Amino acid sequence: MIDTTVTDALENIEPKQEMLASNIPEMIERNRQHGIERINEWSRWAIIIIAAFYVNVPAFSIKNQGTSDIIIGLWALLNLSMTLAVLSNHYPKKSVQTLWLIVDIAIAGFLMYESGGFHSPFGTTLFVVILMGSIRIGTFENFATLAGICVVY
């Protein structure tokens, strides 16, 4: 009786192990994507804090400081919504990731424009935002983003 119980238990375990073994590549990819999203969120928070600092330091000349503060505040609210989603294990699809990259580039480009163009302290912000986004999306989207930035600037 004990032998049949052990045998039955082992037979139930083997299909589960085979099922888990077949899902390992998917699990690894999912975990990699989740890690990338978390890194992007924390990096975006660092960029928002640095941008808010640069806008409010008198040494840098910003044309419309009030508008820049509002834009950075809205960027922070949008990022808070994405951070809460990531922390609750809801990860964005590829289309949302591409939209976030567009929003990040638009905001970084606006801040760069408002503070004197490529010589502004926000010049590096734009490049960091582009690098963060390029980790998430594929090759085609990277080239489309590059073409869009070239057209804008």
Model confidence pLDDT, tens digit, residues 45-95: 888 888 888 888 776 667 778 888 898 899 899 889 888 888 888 777 877
Q: Crossing angle, helix 2-22 and helix 24-56, to 10 degrees?
A: 50
Percent of the chain with pLDDT over 70: 74
At 127, which helix (H) or strand (E)?
helix 123-136
Instruction: Please give the Cα distance from 129 to 102 (Å, whole number).
Output: 10
pLDDT value of residue 6:
53
Query: Are the C-beta atoms of residues 127 and 84 closer than 8 Å to each other?
Result: no
Residue 52's closest CA among 86, 77, 87, 84? 77
pLDDT digits (tens, 9 = 90+) for 10-54: 455 555 555 555 677 777 777 777 787 788 888 888 888 888 888
Residue 76's closest CA among 106, 32, 46? 46
Structure tokens at 46: 């660092």
Instruction: Please give the Cα distance from 86 to 6 (Å, whole number).
Output: 42
Residue 136's closest CA among 25, 43, 50? 43
49 φ/ψ angles, rounded to the nearest 5 degrees:
-65, -45
The single residue listed with the structure tokens 């939209």 is 99
Structure tokens at 49: 């804090």
Structure tokens at 109: 């480009």
| Predicted TM-score of the model (pTM) | 0.68
pLDDT value of residue 76:
92
Instruction: Please give the Cα distance from 91 to 60 (Å, whole number).
Output: 37
